[in-house]
Amino acid sequence: MPNPEQAPRAWVHTIGRQVGEEVTMHGWLYNKRSSGKVQFLQLRDGTGIVQCVVVKNEVTPEVFALCDSLQQESAISVTGEVRVDSRSPLGYELGARNVVLHHAADDYPISPKEHGVAFLMDHRHLWLRSSRQHAILRIRAGLARACRDFFDSRNFTLLDAPIFTPAACEGTTTLFETDYFGGKAFLSQSGQLYMEAGAMAFGKVYCFGPTFRAEKSKTRRHLTEFWMIEPEVAYFDLEADMDLAEEFVVEIAQRMRREFEPELTLIGRDLAVLDRVRKPLPRIRYDEAIELLRAKGCAVAWGDDFGGDEETLISQEFDRPVIIHRYPIHRKAFYMKQDPADARLALCMDMLASDGYGEIVGGGQREDNLAALERKIAAHGLPKEAFSWYFDLRRYGSVPHAGFGLGLERTLAWICGLHHVRETIPFPRLMDRLSP
Ligand code: 4AD
Ligand code: MG
């Protein structure tokens, strides 16, 4: 920054190390109040907000007049001394000696008054600057880190799955189709099939990336583009898969609780919900879930899939996430293995978050027998040719294997206690939103 008055740069998050020093801070004006002879500027630098105290007889008249005229989100640099301020939440303030204006913002559209969600979503590129959105997205970054650390520390190999795919993984009704040099490609619904190849090559792998679903549902749980973390392990059965999912969710929830208490408090999360996320997580069979729903007066038939309402009713029975396993196989994706103990069931599981947040994990054991898999592909009306490479995994050293997918945004909505997933991703893609 060209500024002759400039001192060494400070950032809000580390300002406590520079008490008594003269520093320059760069940022934007978050808020301002004045008591005539003193102006209090809230400077936001992306890592936090610091109060800058501008006293009339401690700066030039031009600087004081500038501060008087500054509007919200103007870009400024403030030079001054870092002081301890026990009254502020940060614990420090800046005694300003000089203020430099880089860009004057006029009539910033997002004011502290209430705005409707549609308005805020249309201004998502600016809304990101608000304290609440900032906190949520910092937690998101921390959650992604915690997810990676969990698997990296257990020697899983990160194996990136492709985004352009030749075939459906999670059913043909939610595929986004795109032109691929005159042919057809689909945006990936899940990296799972590629992780199965990876598990046979590396033993334990995971992918973590964006996935796409052309879901024609406008619910608070559905995005058309969301991030999923998908581990897959060779020589793994459904029980081991549930153990892994349990350990994973408990560890990431506890770590978020520990590392992001200030952010979670700022957004109003009841931390007791996260404190309760401890092993063991309850596990019930689909059949038991049906009984539970009927006991609550819900008219479900055996074989029905659970929607948001059913999931909420079930999760209300537990104080922590619950795993439901062995769903009817006819409801499930082609790759699921049949339960040898009951041909009607699949060796699969879903984890429902507590508090009515719905399914955050889906997974299970995969069909490892070639003939059975070929029958399933045909029964689901899927093109056999597109899966020829996948059949090879059952031809050359096929073994029991299992894995799951955890949706980052739904998990974040639950951890943060947010009503809708649209606030859990920087630029949400919904059925009716592709902008900004
Ligand atoms: O249950 P799903 O469809 O499972 C799979 O895709 C498996 N192939 C994963 C695997 O076994 N490797 O999706 C997994 C998770 C869900 O539990 C949910 O958290 C999230 O992905 N999810 C969505 N999140 C936001 N919006 C949507 N439309 C979502 N669909 C699924
Ligand atoms: Mg699912």
Distance CA 8, CA 12 (A): 13
**Residue range 341-365: mean pLDDT, rounded:** 96
- Cis-peptide into 436, omega within 30 deg: yes
Is any ligand 1 atom within 6 A of the Cβ of residue 234?
A: no
**Would you say residue 82 has pLDDT above 80?**
yes
Compute, in angstroms, the gap from residue 120 CA to the centroid of ligand 2.
30
Compute, in angstroms, the gap from residue 36 CA to the centroid of ligand 2.
59
Is any ligand 1 atom within 6 A of the Cβ of residue 410?
A: yes
The answer to whether 286 and 330 are in contact (CB under 8 A) is no
Of 187, 225, 226, 360, which is best to mutate to test ligand 1, by the most ligand atoms within 8 angstroms of its C-beta?
A: 226
| Residue 4 confidence (pLDDT) | 58
Is any ligand 1 atom within 6 A of the Cβ of residue 97?
A: no
| Residue 2 confidence (pLDDT) | 52
> What ranges make up the beta strands (E) of 222-289?
225-234, 283-285
**Would you say residue 430 has pLDDT above 90?**
yes
Residue-wise pLDDT tens digits, 53-80: 999 999 999 999 999 999 999 999 999 9
Reported as half-sphere exposure (CB side, CA atoms, 13 A), residue 278 has a value of 3
Nearest CA to ligand 1 atom 21: 407
Is any ligand 1 atom within 6 A of the Cβ of residue 409?
A: yes
| Residue 171 confidence (pLDDT) | 85
Higher pLDDT among residues 4 and 276, named by residue = 276
**Would you say residue 114 has pLDDT above 90?**
no
| Residue 111 confidence (pLDDT) | 86
**Residue range 136-149: mean pLDDT, rounded:** 98
Is any ligand 1 atom within 6 A of the Cβ of residue 348?
A: no
Compute, in angstroms, the gap from residue 280 CA to the centroid of ligand 1.
23
* Closest to 336 measured CA to CA, from 159, 193, 134, 133: 193
Of 170, 173, 189, 190, which is best to mutate to test ligand 1, by the most ligand atoms within 8 angstroms of its C-beta?
A: 190
Compute, in angstroms, the gap from residue 225 CA to the centroid of ligand 2.
15
Is any ligand 1 atom within 6 A of the Cβ of residue 248?
A: no
Is any ligand 1 atom within 6 A of the Cβ of residue 213?
A: yes
Q: Average pLDDT, whole number, for the chain? A: 96
Reported as half-sphere exposure (CB side, CA atoms, 13 A), residue 203 has a value of 5
Q: Which residue has the tokens 């993984």?
A: 169
Higher pLDDT among residues 88 and 238, named by residue = 238
Residue-wise pLDDT tens digits, 265-318: 999 999 999 999 999 999 999 999 999 999 999 999 999 999 999 999 999 999
Taking CA atoms, 171 is separated from 201, 238, 340, 383, in Å, by 26, 22, 24, 12
**DSSP string computed for 33-92:** EE-SSEEEEEEE-SS-EEEEEEEGGGS-HHHHHHHHH--TT-EEEEEEEEEE-TTSSSSE
The answer to whether 207 and 230 are in contact (CB under 8 A) is yes
**Residue range 408-426: mean pLDDT, rounded:** 97
Compute, in angstroms, the gap from residue 134 CA to the centroid of ligand 2.
29
Length of the chain: 436
Higher pLDDT among residues 111 and 429, named by residue = 429
Which ligand is in closest contact with the Cα of 327?
2
| Residue 355 confidence (pLDDT) | 86
**Would you say residue 150 has pLDDT above 60?**
yes
Give me the helices (H) in 260-345, please.
Answer: 261-266, 271-275, 286-295, 308-315
Residue-wise pLDDT tens digits, 191-235: 999 999 999 999 999 999 999 999 888 889 999 999 999 999 999
Residue-wise pLDDT tens digits, 152-191: 999 999 999 999 999 888 888 899 999 999 999 999 999 9
Lookup: tokens for 329: 């196989």
Domains, in order of start, for the chain = 12-103 (2.40.50.140), 121-424 (3.30.930.10)
**Would you say residue 427 has pLDDT above 80?**
yes
Compute, in angstroms, the gap from residue 59 CA to the centroid of ligand 1.
57
Higher pLDDT among residues 112 and 312, named by residue = 312
**Would you say residue 126 has pLDDT above 60?**
yes
pTM flag (> 0.85): yes
| Residue 3 confidence (pLDDT) | 60
Nearest CA to ligand 1 atom 9: 405
**DSSP string computed for 140-169:** HHHHHHHHHHHHHTTTPEE-PPPSEESS-S
Distance CA 77, CA 102 (A): 8
Nearest CA to ligand 1 atom 30: 222
Distance CA 325, CA 312 (A): 17
Residue-wise pLDDT tens digits, 385-409: 999 999 999 999 999 999 999 999 9
**Residue range 315-338: mean pLDDT, rounded:** 96
First to last CA, the chain: 30
